[in-house]
């Protein structure tokens, strides 16, 4: 097996399939893999690609199937269950690990494997999609704009629809509240307990605090000890979250969570091609110093899933060419704060005064 081969695990999922199709359209030939034999085989035959079928229950079996590959792009959720088994197998077989997660617990778990990965010469690079490339690169860029920033706020607007996998992951995290970083420490806060207005372009958005991955990773990328991340949430969803707040804790019960997730799998389809093509997302960020100095930036980029397809393939290309280093890295630590500008459609925008 050629050492330049790479694998998409979870290729039959919404985002994994988009990435596989785009890769093939560019003459790339990843090996497809996943747990669903019929779907993986069907997609692989259509795209004329090699494929493997295996789950992540047996570490020896996982290691057998990924041995000899240069990297695995892990797209199989829920990542809180799948990321560590795959990452450990990658470390043991000296295979670089990339994924498209945005979940704080996943970043925490993979970060704890960083020293082991570094000793093995393996790169652990989670979050190479919309979660968290735009926000991470924006944070790293802002870090350079003033001296000794102590506060970082990030927000993104324009995400209109989510995939089944994203919704399932969000449901699993919902009963545990939101997160912020204060004086370098992760702190839990209630949902909807933080909101603010953000001016992006000529429009003012009401945004709410969310437990986005940067609450964990931006501290590693920038060293800034106080971090908040926000997004715009439709008023109907805000009202629903408030209404159902008393029973959200029931999602901690496994059979209830699985039942709701199964319903999501049948009803949520993810954005269609037209949405992915036409929608733009806007990412805003600001840093402040204790003395009151501040600096803001706005980034425009593609719709979230379209961005993820492009950015994950760009990250794969860089790692296959020997870039990114080893151990646990964020996107900006692996490739620099300007990495986001290598993704088609990404550009800095003027801030209106």
Whether residue 142 is found in the same domain as residue 172? yes
Assess if residue 1 is contained within a domain. Answer: no
CATH number of the domain that 43 lies in?
3.40.50.720
Phi/psi class of residue 82: alpha, beta or left (left: φ > 0; alpha: ψ in -120 to 50)?
alpha
Under the banding of pLDDT at 50, 70 and 90, the label for residue 195 is confident
Whether residue 125 is found in the same domain as residue 139? no
Residue 1: pLDDT over 70: no
Assess if residue 253 is contained within a domain. Answer: yes
How many domains does the chain contain in total?
A: 2
Whether residue 54 is found in the same domain as residue 155? no
Whether residue 117 is found in the same domain as residue 146? no
CA 246 to chain CA mean position, Å: 29
Assess if residue 44 is contained within a domain. Answer: yes
Assess if residue 235 is contained within a domain. Answer: yes
In tens, the pLDDT along 94-127 reads 999 999 999 999 999 999 999 999 999 999 999 9
Whether residue 38 is found in the same domain as residue 174? no
Please name which of 302, 307, 306, 297 lies closest in space to residue 337, comparing C-alpha atoms: 297
Whether residue 244 is found in the same domain as residue 297? yes
Helices assigned H by DSSP within 187-249 = 214-222, 235-244
Whether residue 161 is found in the same domain as residue 257? yes
In tens, the pLDDT along 284-300 reads 999 999 998 999 999 99
Assess if residue 226 is contained within a domain. Answer: yes
In tens, the pLDDT along 260-318 reads 777 766 776 766 777 677 778 899 999 999 998 999 999 999 998 999 999 999 999 99
Structure-model confidence comparison of residues 241 and 344, the more confident one: 344
Whether residue 196 is found in the same domain as residue 288? yes
Assess if residue 317 is contained within a domain. Answer: yes
Domain that residue 31 falls in = 6-129+307-336
CATH number of the domain that 177 lies in?
3.30.360.10
Whether residue 286 is found in the same domain as residue 317? no
Whether residue 153 is found in the same domain as residue 284? yes
Q: How far apart are CA 70 and CA 332, in angstroms?
A: 21
pLDDT (0 to 100) of residue 262: 76
pLDDT (0 to 100) of residue 200: 78
pLDDT (0 to 100) of residue 237: 66
pLDDT (0 to 100) of residue 162: 67
pLDDT (0 to 100) of residue 2: 41
Give, in order, the Cα–Cα distances in Å from 162 to each of 75, 123, 158, 165, 167: 15, 28, 12, 8, 6
pLDDT (0 to 100) of residue 3: 45
- The pTM for the full model equals 0.90
Whether residue 205 is found in the same domain as residue 168? yes
Whether residue 108 is found in the same domain as residue 170? no
What kind and span of H or E run contains 266? helix 254-267
């Amino acid at each position: 097996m050629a050492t330049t081969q790479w694998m998409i695990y979870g290729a039959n999922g919404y985002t994994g399939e988009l990435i596989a199709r785009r890769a093939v359209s560019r003459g790339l030939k990843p090996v497809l893999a996943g747990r669903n034999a019929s779907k993986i085989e069907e997609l692989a035959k259509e795209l004329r690609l090699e494929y493997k079928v295996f789950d992540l229950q047996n570490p020896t079996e996982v290691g057998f199937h990924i041995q000899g590959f240069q990297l695995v792009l892990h797209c199989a959720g829920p990542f809180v269950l799948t990321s560590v088994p795959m990452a450990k197998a990658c470390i043991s077989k000296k295979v670089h690990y990339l994924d498209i997660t945005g979940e704080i617990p996943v970043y925490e778990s993979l970060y704890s494997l960083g020293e082991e990965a570094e000793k093995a010469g393996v790169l652990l690079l989670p979050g190479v999609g919309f979660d968290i490339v735009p926000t991470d690169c924006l944070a790293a860029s802002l870090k350079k704009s003033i001296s000794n920033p102590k506060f970082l706020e990030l927000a993104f607007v324009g995400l209109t629809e989510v995939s089944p996998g994203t919704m399932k992951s969000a449901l699993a995290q919902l009963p545990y509240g939101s997160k912020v970083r204060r004086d370098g420490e992760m702190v839990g806060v209630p949902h909807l307990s933080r909101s603010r207005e953000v001016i992006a372009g000529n429009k003012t958005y009401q945004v709410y605090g969310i437990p986005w991955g940067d609450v964990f990773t931006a501290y590693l990328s920038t060293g800034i000890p106080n971090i908040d991340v926000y997004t715009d949430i439709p008023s109907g969803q805000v009202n629903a979250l408030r209404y159902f707040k008393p029973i959200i804790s029931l999602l901690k019960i496994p059979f209830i969570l699985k039942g709701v997730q199964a319903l999501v799998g049948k009803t949520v389809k993810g954005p269609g091609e037209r949405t992915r093509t036409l929608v733009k997302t806007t990412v805003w960020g600001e840093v402040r110093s204790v003395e009151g100095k501040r600096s803001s930036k706005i980034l425009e980029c593609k719709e979230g899933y379209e961005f993820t397809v492009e950015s994950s393939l760009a990250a794969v290309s860089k790692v296959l060419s020997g870039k990114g280093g080893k151990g646990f890295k964020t996107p900006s630590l692996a490739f620099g704060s300007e990495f986001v500008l290598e993704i088609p459609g990404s550009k800095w925008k003027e801030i209106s005064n």
